[in-house]
């Protein structure tokens, strides 16, 4: 099966559990299991190639310009991890099916689990390091969701956040490290990077890249000093702990160290950093684990300790160390996942994980006892179980490792760690299963159904088989070691054997086991000593650091980002000005190449009116109604300017938009205060004027500069002029650009317009549903109302005008392809015609005569335009390719039929719908406010003028 | 003529910026409208100024103005209507909900009594 499918399967499958949720728990787990199984089998189909020592590749170019390609690679190391992820994943899914209670949302759980599984498989199969980083972050995110799965538990939420912060921070630094690595080599493909050991290690940035990448690995694999998040992540449901925190996610950092081993290891820096971190983590984790009373916390710290062990082995930089590390990854995954699942079983059956409340379970839960004991003994390093073999190899390697020039340091610490490791394993067996049967368990313990004990039993079977017959695992482990080593070293010749003779490692092993037993004998006094000793609490330190960081960020950001819009606008304007000034003063400015054109008196007159209106607007903006009139003049002058400067289409659009905008602002002003009070100080107004003048001068200078110069490169407009008639069949080049050359842009824009209108509609609905509604109903108008709300003259006139306006709109629409006009302008004209009816005859009267809701009109417009675009697919052309022909129907003249006209129809409908929906929403607010809307159009109120307070009698019932 | 168009752009920008820095929603909306005019004219002017040569193809005519900025500005005008409408609606909703049409969370210096928080 293609690697792409293997990686994609869990992600695609993640959609299924949520869908199957209502079909029952069995179906939900079943579909998840099937998806994983399919990926697992797909992986196995690649086994022959991998066994032959070949590498399977799959490649899809994603963003080649960035060096980011979807390249997957399957060698024996990747195969090994993928096998662990998918294989243990299958067992976990089966286990979780029985573990989760009926209150848990199973679909949600399995969706997260599959997302996580896909991300993990992605990491181990990525050949591109940028792609690897994407998957790496995905595992952080999905594990956040899984750890925090029990959202009601504060520990779950806090643990999830701590894990995300820690691994996320590591992920960020790793991105930096990987980018440096890619820059050194000149490629982001792992297969290329792995060939360039000397180049990388000779680079001055090697140490920086190494530290950054190791930060990522150490945080993910919970290495000292980042080990603290893993125990807190144990608030997750046990299947998650077993899957993420023993077998897979915490191994991602280890995996990356192994993957990068050929190019990063072997230097003194690597040796000191990695070996020290691993050694400290191993000893620290083992000591803390011994004194934990929570079963899962004990296992969590033991995991930390074992991850340290593997890290230390990779750190030594020798081929034998790498082989021991690979072997221990395998062994640890088997016995630790089994132990976690056993802990889950005990929790499930006795309702407690506190070791002090357990004991004597061997009689009550014999099956669990056998499984857990075998796994724990393997972890303790007892012969005939797999843990013994890799632990011997570890001790052997430690014996040859000299750190800081002290020959006894590493062997002594390794033995010390192994001693505590054995001790906590014995404690687990002793205090949970041995001893007398108690009568105060929170629940009556008994062995679980087979669904719960089968998955760990499968793993324990592996533990025993590898332990008894290590030669079975040897070829596989050596094959993986070969791909870890790459070309950097030869595979060690040593064989996996139970009996190596009386070597030092054996004596160290014996010391560890005997010492562990002694430790158990003096456990109670040791515990008292431990409880009395002062220890730093990781969570408190972590909280203090995050709080300090957050408050620092607050201190830095809040003075700038204080919620004051005017401040943002001022800072933004000044910043843009500064950047522009920098460009202006550092760039080169050529001489003018165009001669200024003379201005006619009419043009100067128009300019003077525009300037006067703008100045008046600024000076008199406190009178809001007056400022509305002034901005209307500005708009009018701009439209006339467009007429003058050869832009008839723009002029028509600006003019019609001006009309609807003013109507809209008038409707809004109906509610807003009609005066702006003086609030700002003189100093502030001077400051604002300064900013405004700066901005004005800058835009003036920029506009004046380029108006007098030709474009730096040839404009593309020649193409549009040349092809408008030939290719688009229209003489109006602007319209042809809109509906044909850049039709896709226009399509996007009518959608945006439609969304804006729907947003306004939604806001109105929300307002009318909320407390605002009552306020609107009780609102008293601040001015006297007109006596005739629907003046007869206006009603008659608008009705006579309506067909005329529609005809003009129709005409403007049809001629749009060849003469100024088109869908946008026609849409605006028709909207104005309809708005006139609202204004003259009233809201109720007009709405009662509307056949189609405006949302539908918007939708019809977007659909028409979209379907026209899709139509070109059927003739094998790209989206929105237009076509046209000329037809002649006597007695008319020859005319053109273009598919672009259909598209323009869509534009027309969308514009009408959007404009009308916006204005209608505003007038609905007005309607609810104070006027009882009459159903009759021409109502003449005999009372002539109704004073404002009278309107209070029109209460809700009248509306 | 060039200097007139350029100065119109500059004056519209200055007026727009000044109004945008006011404290109440209505002048801010007007300021944004003025800025919209300025930006639209600015974009339009990037095709340089031509009098009496609209981009409507005619037999025998060879000089046309640049049609592309016009097409871009045309949609910009329509979209800016939509955006103005949204901003007005938000301003109106905020005012109706709180009886307060200030744009800032905290006005600097001014001691403000929100009238209608009942």
CB atoms within 10 A of CB A113: 27
- Put simply, the answer to whether A753 touches B79 (Cβ < 8 Å) is yes
Higher pLDDT, B77 or A882: B77
The lowest-confidence range among A310-319, A407-416, A603-612, A699-708 is A407-416
Q: How far is B37 from chain A (nearest CA, A)?
A: 8
Looking at the structure, tell me whether residues A824 and A942 fall in a common domain: yes
Asked if residue A496 is part of any domain, the answer here is yes
Best of A703, A713, A754 to mutate (most B CBs within 10 Å, chain B): A703
Say if CB A450 and CB A345 are below 8 A apart.
no
Looking at the structure, tell me whether residues A701 and A734 fall in a common domain: no
Residues of A with CB below 8 A from B103's CB? 565-566
Q: Can you give the pLDDT at residue B114?
A: 43
Assign B117 a pLDDT band (cuts: 50, 70, 90).
Answer: very low
**What does the buried/exposed string (b/e) look like for A2-41 if buried means 16 or more CB atoms within 10 Å of the residue's CB?**
ebeebbebbbebbebbeebbeeebebbbbbbbebbebbbe
Measured distance between the N- and C-terminal CA atoms of chain A, rounded to whole angstroms: 69
The lowest-confidence range among A203-217, A587-601, A620-634, A938-952 is A938-952
Query: Could you list the residue range(s) of the whole structural domain that residue A630 is in?
Result: 560-583+597-709
- Put simply, the answer to whether B55 touches A734 (Cβ < 8 Å) is yes
Mean pLDDT along residues A596-620: 92
Spatial separation of the C-alpha atoms in residues B8 and A730, rounded to whole Å: 33
Half-sphere exposure of A584 (CA within 13 A, CB side): 14
Assign A633 a pLDDT band (cuts: 50, 70, 90).
Answer: very high
**What does the buried/exposed string (b/e) look like for A673-685 if buried means 16 or more CB atoms within 10 Å of the residue's CB?**
eeebeeebeeebe
Per cent of chain A over pLDDT 90 is 16
Element at A563 (helix H, strand E): none
Which of A656, A675, A709 is where one domain is finished? A709
Q: Can you give the pLDDT at residue A956?
A: 42
Q: Can you give the pLDDT at residue A808?
A: 94
The lowest-confidence range among A6-15, A444-453, A729-738, A820-829 is A444-453
Highest mean pLDDT among A137-141, A263-267, B30-34: B30-34
Mean pLDDT along residues B79-85: 91
Assign A952 a pLDDT band (cuts: 50, 70, 90).
Answer: very low
Flag whether pLDDT at A906 surpasses 90.
yes
Q: How far is B102 from chain A (nearest CA, A)?
A: 10
Looking at the structure, tell me whether residues A705 and A739 fall in a common domain: no
Best of A623, A696, A721 to mutate (most B CBs within 10 Å, chain B): A696
Flag whether pLDDT at A86 surpasses 80.
yes
Q: How do residues A478-527 score in pLDDT, each as one tens digit?
A: 888 888 887 767 777 777 776 767 677 777 778 878 887 887 777 777 77
Q: Decide if B61 touches A, using CB distance below 8 A.
A: no
Asked if residue A891 is part of any domain, the answer here is yes
Say if CB A958 and CB A929 are below 8 A apart.
no
H-only helix segments in A494-537: 504-521, 523-532
Q: Which residue of B has its CA nearest to A703?
A: B6
- Put simply, the answer to whether B30 touches A565 (Cβ < 8 Å) is no
The lowest-confidence range among A460-474, A524-538, A727-741, A788-802 is A524-538
Residues of A with CB below 8 A from B110's CB? 679
Best of A559, A563, A571, A647 to mutate (most B CBs within 10 Å, chain B): A647
Mean pLDDT along residues A225-229: 80
Flag whether pLDDT at B118 surpasses 60.
no
Q: Which residue of A has its CA nearest to B99?
A: A672
Who among B3, B44, B56 is closest to A819 (CB)?
B56
Assign A610 a pLDDT band (cuts: 50, 70, 90).
Answer: very high
Spatial separation of the C-alpha atoms in residues B36 and B42, rounded to whole Å: 10
Looking at the structure, tell me whether residues A704 and A734 fall in a common domain: no
Q: How far is B61 from chain A (nearest CA, A)?
A: 12
Who among B11, B28, B104 is closest to A563 (CB)?
B104
Best of A562, A566, A917 to mutate (most B CBs within 10 Å, chain B): A566
Asked if residue A268 is part of any domain, the answer here is no
Parse chain B into domains and list their residue ranges.
Answer: 2-50+64-98
Q: Can you give the pLDDT at residue A316?
A: 83
Whole-number average pLDDT of chain A:
83
Nearest to A388 by CA among A558, A212, A506: A506
Q: Are strands A56-63 and A884-887 parallel, antiparallel or unpaired?
A: unpaired
Asked if residue A669 is part of any domain, the answer here is yes
Residues of B with CB below 8 A from A732's CB? 55-57
Residues of A with CB below 8 A from B77's CB? 650, 653-654, 657
- Put simply, the answer to whether B74 touches A824 (Cβ < 8 Å) is yes
Looking at the structure, tell me whether residues A605 and A494 fall in a common domain: no
Spatial separation of the C-alpha atoms in residues A569 and B23, rounded to whole Å: 11
Q: Can you give the pLDDT at residue A263?
A: 84
Q: Can you give the pLDDT at residue A942?
A: 47
Residues of A with CB below 8 A from B45's CB? 703, 706-707
Q: Are strands A56-63 and A68-74 parallel, antiparallel or unpaired?
A: antiparallel
Q: Can you give the pLDDT at residue A937?
A: 57
Who among B21, B24, B105 is closest to A563 (CB)?
B105
Highest mean pLDDT among A16-25, A312-321, A439-448: A312-321
Looking at the structure, tell me whether residues A629 and A579 fall in a common domain: yes
Q: Can you give the pLDDT at residue A749?
A: 92
Which of A640, A675, A709 is where one domain is finished? A709
- Put simply, the answer to whether B1 touches A668 (Cβ < 8 Å) is no
Who among B1, B52, B116 is closest to A646 (CB)?
B52
Q: Can you give the pLDDT at residue A661?
A: 93
Burial (CB count within 10 angstroms: exposed 0-12, middle 13-18, buried 19+), residue A556: exposed
| ipTM (interface pTM) | 0.90
CA distances to A424, A440, A634 from A360, in Å: 17, 11, 91
Q: How far is B82 from chain A (nearest CA, A)?
A: 6
Asked if residue A170 is part of any domain, the answer here is no
Q: How far is A956 from chain B (nearest CA, A)?
A: 18
Looking at the structure, tell me whether residues A694 and A753 fall in a common domain: no
Q: Can you give the pLDDT at residue B110?
A: 44
- Put simply, the answer to whether A564 touches B65 (Cβ < 8 Å) is no
Nearest to B46 by CA among B17, B67, B61, B16: B67
Looking at the structure, tell me whether residues A465 and A374 fall in a common domain: yes
Q: How far is B115 from chain A (nearest CA, A)?
A: 13
Spatial separation of the C-alpha atoms in residues A345 and A432, rounded to whole Å: 13
- Put simply, the answer to whether B82 touches A918 (Cβ < 8 Å) is yes
Say if CB A648 and CB A734 are below 8 A apart.
no
Chain A neighbours among B 67-86 (CB < 8 Å)?
67-68, 70-71, 73-75, 77-86
Looking at the structure, tell me whether residues A566 and A518 fall in a common domain: no
Q: Which residue of A has its CA nearest to B4?
A: A607
Asked if residue A147 is part of any domain, the answer here is no
Q: Which of these CATH numbers, 1.10.260, 1.10.760, 1.10.3090, 1.10.287, describes B2-50+64-98? A: 1.10.287
Q: Can you give the pLDDT at residue A929?
A: 55
Say if CB A804 and CB A723 are below 8 A apart.
no
The lowest-confidence range among A115-119, A232-236, A501-505, A552-556 is A501-505
Asked if residue A195 is part of any domain, the answer here is no
Q: Decide if B111 touches A, using CB distance below 8 A.
A: no
**What does the buried/exposed string (b/e) look like for A797-817 if buried means 16 or more CB atoms within 10 Å of the residue's CB?**
ebeebbeebeebbeebbbbbb
Residues of B with CB below 8 A from A698's CB? 10, 13
Looking at the structure, tell me whether residues A760 and A792 fall in a common domain: yes
Asked if residue A188 is part of any domain, the answer here is no
Mean pLDDT along residues A82-109: 83
Q: Decide if B35 touches A, using CB distance below 8 A.
A: no
**What does the buried/exposed string (b/e) look like for A213-237 if buried means 16 or more CB atoms within 10 Å of the residue's CB?**
bbbbbbbbbbbbebbbbbbbbbbbb
Q: Which residue of A has its CA nearest to B97?
A: A772
Element at A70 (helix H, strand E): strand A68-74
Flag whether pLDDT at A844 surpasses 90.
no
Say if CB A279 and CB A403 are below 8 A apart.
yes
Flag whether pLDDT at B47 surpasses 90.
no
Mean pLDDT along residues A567-579: 91
Q: How far is A731 from chain B (nearest CA, A)?
A: 5
Say if CB A224 and CB A288 are below 8 A apart.
no
Flag whether pLDDT at A949 surpasses 70.
no
Nearest to A211 by CA among A253, A177, A178: A177
Assign A934 a pLDDT band (cuts: 50, 70, 90).
Answer: low
Q: How far is B45 from chain A (nearest CA, A)?
A: 7
Burial (CB count within 10 angstroms: exposed 0-12, middle 13-18, buried 19+), residue A945: exposed
The lowest-confidence range among A31-40, A488-497, A685-694, A720-729 is A488-497
Q: Decide if B48 touches A, using CB distance below 8 A.
A: yes
Q: Can you give the pLDDT at residue B107?
A: 45
Mean pLDDT along residues A712-737: 83
Q: How many domains does chain A have?
A: 3
Q: How do residues A667-701 score in pLDDT, each as one tens digit?
A: 888 888 888 888 888 888 999 999 999 999 999 99
Higher pLDDT, A699 or B1: A699
Assign A944 a pLDDT band (cuts: 50, 70, 90).
Answer: very low
CA distances to A292, A527, A751 from A533, in Å: 14, 10, 68
Highest mean pLDDT among A477-481, A673-677, A777-781, B20-24: B20-24
């Amino acid at each position: 099966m293609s690697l792409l499918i293997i990686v994609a399967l869990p992600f695609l499958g993640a959609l299924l559990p949520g869908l199957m949720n209502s079909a029952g728990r069995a179906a939900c787990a079943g579909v998840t299991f099937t998806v994983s199984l399919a990926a697992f089998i797909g992986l196995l189909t690649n086994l022959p190639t991998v066994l032959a020592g070949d590498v399977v590749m799959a490649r899809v170019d994603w963003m080649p310009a960035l060096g980011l390609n979807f390249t997957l690679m399957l060698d024996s190391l990747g195969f090994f991890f993928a096998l662990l992820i998918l294989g243990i994943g299958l067992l976990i899914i089966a286990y979780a099916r029985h573990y989760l209670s009926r209150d848990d949302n199973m679909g949600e759980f399995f969706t997260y689990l599959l997302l996580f599984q896909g991300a993990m498989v992605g990491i181990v199969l990525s050949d591109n390091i940028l792609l690897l980083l994407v998957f790496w972050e995905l595992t952080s995110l999905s594990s956040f969701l899984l750890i925090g799965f029990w959202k009601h538990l504060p520990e779950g939420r806090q643990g999830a956040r701590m894990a995300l912060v820690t691994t996320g921070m590591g992920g960020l630094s790793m991105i930096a490290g990987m980018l440096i690595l890619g820059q050194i080599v000149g490629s982001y493909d792992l297969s290329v990077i792995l060939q360039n050991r000397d180049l990388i290690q000779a680079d001055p940035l090697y140490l920086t890249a190494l530290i950054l990448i190791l930060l990522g690995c150490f945080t993910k694999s919970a290495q000292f000093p980042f080990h603290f998040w893993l125990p807190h992540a144990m608030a997750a449901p046990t299947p998650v702990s077993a899957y993420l925190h023993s077998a897979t996610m915490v191994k991602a950092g280890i995996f990356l160290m192994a993957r990068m081993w050929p190019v990063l290891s072997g230097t003194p820096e690597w040796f000191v950093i990695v070996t020290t971190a691993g050694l400290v983590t191993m000893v620290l984790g083992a000591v803390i684990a011994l004194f934990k009373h929570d079963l899962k916390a004990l296992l969590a710290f033991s995991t930390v300790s074992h991850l340290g062990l593997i890290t230390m082995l990779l750190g030594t930089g020798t081929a034998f160390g790498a082989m021991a590390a690979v072997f221990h990854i395998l062994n640890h995954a088997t016995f630790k996942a089994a132990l976690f699942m056993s802990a889950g079983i005990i929790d499930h059956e006795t309702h407690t994980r506190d070791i002090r409340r357990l004991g004597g379970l061997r009689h009550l839960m014999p099956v669990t006892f056998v499984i857990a004991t075998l796994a724990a003994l393997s972890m303790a390093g007892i012969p005939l179980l797999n843990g013994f073999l890799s632990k011997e190899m570890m001790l052997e390697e430690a014996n040859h490792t000299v750190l800081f020039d002290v020959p006894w340091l590493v062997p002594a610490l390794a033995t010390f760690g192994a001693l505590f490791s054995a001790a906590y394993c014995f404690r687990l067996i002793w205090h949970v299963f041995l001893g007398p049967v108690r009568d105060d368990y929170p629940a009556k313990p008994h062995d679980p159904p087979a669904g719960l004990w089968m998955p760990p039993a499968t793993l324990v079977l592996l533990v025993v088989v590898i332990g008894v017959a290590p030669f079975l695992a040897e070829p596989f482990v050596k094959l993986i070691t070969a791909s870890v080593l790459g070309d950097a070293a030869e595979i060690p010749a040593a064989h996996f054997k139970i009996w190596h003779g009386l070597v030092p490692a054996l004596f160290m092993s014996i010391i560890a086991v005997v010492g562990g037993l002694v430790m158990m004998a003096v456990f109670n006094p040791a515990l008292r000593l431990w409880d009395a000793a002062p220890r730093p609490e990781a969570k408190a330190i972590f909280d203090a650091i995050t709080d300090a960081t957050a408050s620092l960020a607050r201190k830095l950001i809040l003075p700038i980002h204080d919620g004051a819009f005017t401040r943002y606008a001022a800072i933004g304007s000044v910043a843009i000005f500064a950047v522009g000034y920098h460009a202006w003063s550092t760039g080169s400015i050529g001489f003018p190449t165009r001669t200024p054109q003379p201005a006619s008196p009419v043009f100067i007159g128009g300019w003077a009116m525009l300037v006067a209106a703008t100045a008046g607007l600024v000076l008199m903006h406190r009178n809001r109604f007056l400022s509305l009139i002034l901005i209307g003049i500005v708009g009018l002058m701009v439209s006339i300017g467009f007429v003058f400067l050869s832009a008839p289409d723009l002029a028509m659009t600006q003019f019609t938009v001006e009309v609807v905008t003013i109507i809209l602002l008038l409707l809004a002003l109906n509610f807003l205060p009609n005066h702006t009070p003086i609030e700002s100080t003189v100093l502030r107004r001077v400051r604002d004027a300064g900013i405004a003048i700066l901005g004005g001068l800058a835009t003036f200078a920029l506009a004046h500069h380029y108006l007098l110069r030709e474009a730096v490169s040839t404009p593309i407009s020649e193409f549009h002029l040349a092809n408008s008639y030939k290719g688009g069949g229209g003489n109006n080049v602007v319209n042809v650009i809109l509906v044909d050359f850049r039709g896709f842009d226009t399509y996007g824009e009518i959608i945006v317009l439609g969304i804006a209108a729907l947003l306004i509609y939604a806001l109105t609905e929300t307002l009318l549903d909320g407390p605002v509604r009552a306020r609107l109903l009780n609102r008293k108008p601040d001015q006297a109302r007109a006596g005739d709300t629907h003046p007869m003259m206006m009603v008659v006139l608008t009705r006579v005008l309506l067909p005329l306006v529609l005809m003009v709109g129709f005409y403007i629409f049809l001629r749009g392809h060849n003469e100024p006009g088109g869908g946008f302008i026609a849409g605006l004209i028709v909207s104005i015609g309809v708005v006139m009816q609202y204004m003259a005859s009233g809201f109720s009267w007009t709405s009662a005569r509307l056949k189609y809701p405006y949302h539908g009109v918007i939708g019809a417009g977007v659909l028409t335009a979209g379907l026209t675009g899709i139509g070109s697919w059927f003739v094998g052309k790209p989206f929105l390719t237009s076509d046209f022909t000329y037809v002649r129907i006597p007695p008319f003249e020859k005319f053109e039929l273009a598919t672009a006209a259909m598209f323009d129809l869509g534009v027309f409908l969308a514009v009408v719908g959007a404009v009308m929906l916006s204005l209608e929403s505003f007038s609905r607010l007005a309607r609810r406010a104070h006027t009882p809307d009459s159903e009759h159009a021409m109502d003449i109120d005999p009372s002539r003028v109704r004073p404002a307070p009278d309107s209070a009698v029109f209460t809700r019932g009248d509306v | 003529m060039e200097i007139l168009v350029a100065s119109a752009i500059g004056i519209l920008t200055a007026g727009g910026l000044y109004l945008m820095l006011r404290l109440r929603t209505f002048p801010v909306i007007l300021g944004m409208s003025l800025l919209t005019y300025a930006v639209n004219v600015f974009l339009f002017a990037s095709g340089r100024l031509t009098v009496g040569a609209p981009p409507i193809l005619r037999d025998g005519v060879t000089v046309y103005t640049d049609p592309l900025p016009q097409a871009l500005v045309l949609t910009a005008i329509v979209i800016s209507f939509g955006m103005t409408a949204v901003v007005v609606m938000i301003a109106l909703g905020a005012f109706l909900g709180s009886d307060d049409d200030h744009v800032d969370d905290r006005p600097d210096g001014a001691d403000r009594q929100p009238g209608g928080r009942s």
